[in-house]
Structure 1
Amino acid sequence: MDSRRDFLQKLTLGIGATALTDLPATARELYSGPKADKQLRVAIMGLGSYGTRVAEAMKDCKMATLVGAVSGTPAKLEDWKKKYNIPAKNTYNYETVSKIKDNPDIDLVYITTPNSLHYKHVLQIAAAGKHVLCEKPVADNAKQTREMIAVCEKAGVKFYIGYRMHFEPHTRELIRMREAGELGKIMHVNNYMGFKSGDPNQWRLKKALAGGGAMMDVGIYALNGARYATGEEPIWVTAQETKTDPVKFKEVDETIMFQLGFPSGVVASCGTTYNFNNYERLYVIGEKGFVELSPAFSYGPIKGRTHNGPMNQPVITHQTLQMDGIADIILNNKPDPNVSGAEGLKDMIVVDALYESIRKGGAKIMLAGK
């Protein structure tokens, strides 16, 4: 398997007609009816594989519509103008993107550029007065994230993170069961996410662009999953790194095992890797029952079971749900399912502590006051 994209795409199920026939009536109606009268007008910044995935998913959105694109590659902009019917006046490169402030036809910019560019690009878009949706991880560290939040607040724009799982039906059902007390007191969480990284020249293996390795890229899923599985914030962490290929992974981490301790006494045992496949699961054990999702974090279809039997939630393209969900939050003032910049900051505080633990030989790092 050559890349994270190949790994995630292997598990992808689109929202075509075949998928729709398997959905409950309410879901079929949502994604077969007319588009909403009021729509969030979106430009995508960074036209790589993930930006393209979002663009394709948005074809089925009812409350969000793709109207703009930002790229440093002229050929990509030309292709997107034709493929997605984007007006030339709504396309920008990285040198001209500040001019987006003068374009009243764009409401929000979705930043899908490499991780370490998020900080710079969020500040640019906020300065242009547009709402911001930024792919995770939000930044290289908590310090950058705090500044990003402050700049967006000062500019009066909304700032959200691409936590698509917070809109995914199986994940939402897990959270509902936990909040309803159907699992009882949470006793243990076991989460992991990883894959075998292929191309040694890809940007994800270059710290200047990626910020970190497996932990930043896909370990963030296991970390965020532990937080929504418990409904708590960790108060201590420990982490250990192993590296089997010090040449390929010279600049970034390869495999990290980490533990999160929560106020209730729950300990989450988590892991992430760039070294092997078939490593993806979220398992929550409570006094009254359990939830297991596997696959748990990839593009889908997510599959799950509980102490009551198999889960049977709708299968809808995650990015479609996410973009309509963000539109609903902004346009209709709907509740935020924990996808704000503040949610991203909570994860980055923990990520900083995990890397600190590794530097200190796996020492327990307390999070109080961080």
Structure 2
Amino acid sequence: MDSRRDFLQKLTFSAIGLPLLTFSGLASAEATNLIYEQPYQGPVLRVAIMGLGSYGTRVAEAMQSSKKAKLVGVISGTPSKVKDWQAKYNIPAKNCYNYENFDAIKNNPDIDAVYVITPNALHHDQVIRVAKAGKHAICEKPMAINAKEGQEMVDACNKANVKLLVGYRLHFEPKTLEIIRMREAGEFGKIMFFQGLSGFTIGDPNQWRLNKQLAGGGAMMDIGIYSVNGARYMVGEEPVWVTAQETKTDPVKFKEGVDETIQFQFGFPSGAVASCLSTYSMSNLDRFFLNGTEGFAELHPATGYGPIKGRTHKGELTQPHQTHQTVQMDEMAAIILEGKKPVVPVDGEEGLKDLKIIDAIYLAAKTGKKVDLTV
């Protein structure tokens, strides 16, 4: 009804604004601007969200606008949240689980995939359980807390013949994809340098992100991974070495094993280099800059929920903003159900590469040595 009403309103406004428009002109205008959008009738990915916190809520809200993905179930350790989500999203009781009994999704044909949005250290076991239940797994980043765990997750999903995807929403972001297109077309010339700045001032000192047992680290595992991943898709290569330096100004808030600030540098096979910053103690840091012999590209903000803003040596990037999580879920549904190949991968192997690099960053920061990489 809303779509039909919007269509009629547009048609009325057009008629008012163009009183002398001929019938053929009206038909042409209708054909080009006022086409009634037919409802999507293809396959739909039925998703249960595991972890009903702030980001799980953001994903759930965004999925209400998805065409190819539908929220059909929840998994949570908080009964009151389950009850609230049931009422808000019309989720049947048979599709509601807790962390102890969710293996029973194996016998629920109404759930195709589980989106794991829990603290980092829980991803490994939860994704493997999802795979053993025969369901596709979508996992928030970082995929795990180290490469060893990540490899075990990839292996488990391969063994179960289910997909493992990682929540790299920016791999579908229009301005980001335009820069990748320009780079691949040679419009920047030879890529020489990338800078990634990822940071904010973190609040509550008691939150799980500052608990090594749950987070697996500190800023690097939460915000720094954006510059790790961004360096790879912006430059279009995999780094072959890394150096890193850690700075800690508040050892009370940032306890042992919880990094506050890390600067890190990459070298790439072509000779390009990257310089990046990951921090929990400085704000206004969300910028990517790519420099080549023939031009440049900048995203600022580069990784927030949007709108992303960008420019190149050719001018401002004007691709329209779309809710990242809505696009992500539609695209992931197409990957799982239709075999679609994204421009930038979002699979478990992609997540594993980031974990190998993060392991190397931590090692470089600890030892002060240059660490060679093979990802």
User: Scaled by the length of structure 1, what TM-score is found?
Assistant: 0.90
What is residue 98 of structure 2 aligned with on the other side? 93
Query: How far apart are the structure 2 equivalents of 1:29 and 1:95?
Result: 51
- Conserved in 2, the CA contact under 8 Å of 1:31 and 1:61? no
The answer for unaligned runs of 5 or more in structure 2 is 1-5, 11-32
The residue matched to 1:136 in structure 2 has which SS?
coil
2:175 pairs, out of 141, 152, 170, with 170
Higher Rg: 2
Q: How does 1:135-154 map to 2 (within 5 A)?
A: 135-154=140-159
Query: How far apart are the structure 2 equivalents of 1:300 and 1:236?
Result: 32
Report how many residues are paired. 343
What is residue 60 of structure 1 aligned with on the other side? 65
1:345 aligns with 2:345: no
- Conserved in 2, the CA contact under 8 Å of 1:80 and 1:86? yes
- Conserved in 2, the CA contact under 8 Å of 1:31 and 1:60? no
Q: How does 1:279-318 map to 2 (within 5 A)?
A: 279-318=285-324
1:184 aligns with 2:174: no
What is residue 23 of structure 2 aligned with on the other side? none
Query: How far apart are the structure 1 equivalents of 2:108 and 2:314?
Result: 52
What is residue 329 of structure 2 aligned with on the other side? 323
2:263 pairs, out of 254, 257, 261, with 257
- CA 172–33 in structure 1, closer or farther in 2 if over 3 Å, else same: farther
How far residue 288 of structure 1 moved from its aligned partner, in angstroms, is 1.2
1:364 aligns with 2:370: yes
1:207 aligns with 2:219: no
How far residue 36 of structure 1 moved from its aligned partner, in angstroms, is 3.5
The residue matched to 1:195 in structure 2 has which SS?
strand
How far residue 314 of structure 1 moved from its aligned partner, in angstroms, is 1.5
Q: How does 1:207-226 map to 2 (within 5 A)?
A: 207-226=212-231
Q: Which amino acid aligns with 2:357?
A: V
- Conserved in 2, the CA contact under 8 Å of 1:185 and 1:287? yes
Query: How far apart are the structure 1 equivalents of 2:36 and 2:221?
Result: 33
- Conserved in 2, the CA contact under 8 Å of 1:35 and 1:61? no
What is residue 43 of structure 2 aligned with on the other side? 38
How far residue 31 of structure 1 moved from its aligned partner, in angstroms, is 12
The residue matched to 2:341 in structure 1 has which SS?
coil
Query: How far apart are the structure 1 equivalents of 2:288 and 2:116?
Result: 27
Query: How far apart are the structure 1 equivalents of 2:239 and 2:38?
Result: 42
How far residue 34 of structure 1 moved from its aligned partner, in angstroms, is 2.3
How far residue 32 of structure 1 moved from its aligned partner, in angstroms, is 6.7
The residue matched to 2:281 in structure 1 has which SS?
coil
Query: How far apart are the structure 1 equivalents of 2:331 and 2:35?
Result: 12
How far residue 180 of structure 1 moved from its aligned partner, in angstroms, is 1.1
How far residue 101 of structure 1 moved from its aligned partner, in angstroms, is 0.4
What is the CA deviation profile of residues 199-222 of structure 1, one whole-angstrom value per residue up to 9, with x for unaligned ones? 010000000100010001010000
The residue matched to 1:278 in structure 2 has which SS?
strand
Query: How far apart are the structure 1 equivalents of 2:137 and 2:345?
Result: 15
Query: How far apart are the structure 2 equivalents of 1:31 and 1:314?
Result: 21
What is residue 198 of structure 1 aligned with on the other side? 203
Query: How far apart are the structure 1 equivalents of 2:58 and 2:150?
Result: 25
Q: Which amino acid aligns with 1:188?
A: F
Query: How far apart are the structure 2 equivalents of 1:101 and 1:36?
Result: 26
- CA 31–147 in structure 1, closer or farther in 2 if over 3 Å, else same: farther
- CA 311–29 in structure 1, closer or farther in 2 if over 3 Å, else same: farther
- CA 239–318 in structure 1, closer or farther in 2 if over 3 Å, else same: same
Query: How far apart are the structure 2 equivalents of 1:32 and 1:298?
Result: 30
How far residue 332 of structure 1 moved from its aligned partner, in angstroms, is 1.5
How far residue 35 of structure 1 moved from its aligned partner, in angstroms, is 3.4
4+ runs deviating over 6 angstroms: 28-32
| Greater CA drift, 32-41 or 90-99 | 32-41
1:333 pairs, out of 319, 329, 339, with 339
How far residue 33 of structure 1 moved from its aligned partner, in angstroms, is 5.3
- CA 187–218 in structure 1, closer or farther in 2 if over 3 Å, else same: same
Identity across matched positions, percent: 62
What is residue 272 of structure 2 aligned with on the other side? 266
Query: How far apart are the structure 1 equivalents of 2:86 and 2:364?
Result: 47
- CA 99–135 in structure 1, closer or farther in 2 if over 3 Å, else same: same
Q: Which amino acid aligns with 1:75?
A: S
- Conserved in 2, the CA contact under 8 Å of 1:42 and 1:108? yes
How far residue 333 of structure 1 moved from its aligned partner, in angstroms, is 1.4
The answer for unaligned runs of 5 or more in structure 1 is 1-16, 22-27
- CA 36–254 in structure 1, closer or farther in 2 if over 3 Å, else same: farther
Query: How far apart are the structure 2 equivalents of 1:33 and 1:49?
Result: 33
Query: How far apart are the structure 1 equivalents of 2:153 and 2:146?
Result: 11
What is residue 244 of structure 2 aligned with on the other side? 239
Q: Larger RCO: Structure 1 or Structure 2 (Cα < 8 Å, ≥ 6 residues apart)? A: 1
What is the CA deviation profile of residues 265-311 of structure 1, one whole-angstrom value per residue up to 9, with x for unaligned ones? 11100011000110110000011111100000011110000111110
1:112 aligns with 2:117: yes
